[in-house]
């Protein structure tokens, strides 16, 4: 017995609506917003007085989700940062896309930009990192062959 399948990645955010709108811009489907908390959440999170507003964002093919969560309680005073790509820890998430150049235009029109540039990797992929709200990095890749 062990890992069976991928379920979701949890992303803690300050501005739930702004971050959810960014992922909708990329093509994710938004679920219903819910507020959770209580003793069970305290036990899972190792916190006291947990109350969280959250929404699941899923890919069109249903291959996994992002759980966007904003902690109402306890309050964390840390400000989001735009860490460099080589900072230790979970640094980016990657998605296969269609029409990456058009998607980049939409991203830029919404006020976001690439970390650096769109690259043709060996005529197999067009790939880039997009810097989203709160310093989040999303890798977008379009398969060429």
Query: What Cα–Cα distance (Å) separates residue 28 from each residue in 22, 23, 81, 117, 143?
Result: 9, 6, 23, 23, 19
> Residue 61, preceding bond cis, omega within 30 degrees?
no
Stretch(es) of the chain classified as CATH 3.30.720.110:
93-143
Task: Give the other-Cβ count within 10 Å of 6's Cβ.
Answer: 9
CATH topology of domain 8-73: 2,3-Dihydroxybiphenyl 1,2-Dioxygenase; domain 1 (3.10.180)
Percent of the chain at pLDDT above 70?
100
Nearest-angstrom CA–CA distance, 121 and 111: 26
Confidence of residue 4 (pLDDT cuts 50, 70, 90): confident
Which residues in the chain belong to E strands, given as ranges?
A: 8-12, 29-30, 34-37, 51-58, 65-73, 93-96, 113-114, 119-121, 125-131, 137-143
Residue 42 has what pLDDT? 93
**Whole-prediction pTM value?**
0.92
- Look at residue 114 and tell me whether its pLDDT is greater than 90: yes
User: Which overall architecture, per CATH, does domain 93-143 show?
Assistant: 2-Layer Sandwich (3.30)
Nearest-angstrom CA–CA distance, 47 and 44: 8
Q: What is the mean pLDDT of the chain?
A: 94
Which of 3-12, 79-88, 114-123 has the lowest average pLDDT?
79-88
Residue 24 has what pLDDT? 97
Stretch(es) of the chain classified as CATH 3.10.180.10:
8-73
Confidence of residue 106 (pLDDT cuts 50, 70, 90): very high
Residue 89 has what pLDDT? 85
DSSP, collapsed to helix, strand or coil, labels residue 104 as helix
Percent of the chain at pLDDT above 90?
80
- Look at residue 13 and tell me whether its pLDDT is greater than 90: yes
Mean pLDDT for 82-107 is: 92
């Amino acid at each position: 017995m062990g890992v069976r399948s991928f379920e979701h990645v949890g992303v803690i955010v300050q501005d739930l609506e702004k971050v959810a709108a960014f992922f909708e811009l990329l093509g994710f489907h938004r679920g219903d917003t819910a507020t959770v908390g209580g003793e069970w959440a305290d036990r899972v999170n190792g916190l006291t007085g947990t109350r969280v507003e959250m929404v699941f964002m899923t890919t069109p093919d249903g291959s996994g989700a992002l759980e966007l969560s904003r902690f109402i309680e306890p309050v964390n005073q840390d400000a989001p940062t735009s860490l460099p790509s080589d900072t230790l820890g979970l640094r980016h998430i990657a998605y296969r896309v269609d029409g990456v150049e058009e998607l980049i235009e939409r991203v830029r029109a919404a006020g976001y930009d690439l970390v650096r540039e769109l690259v043709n990797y060996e005529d197999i992929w067009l790939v880039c990192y997009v810097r989203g709200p709160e310093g989040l990095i999303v890798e977008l890749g379009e398969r060429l062959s």
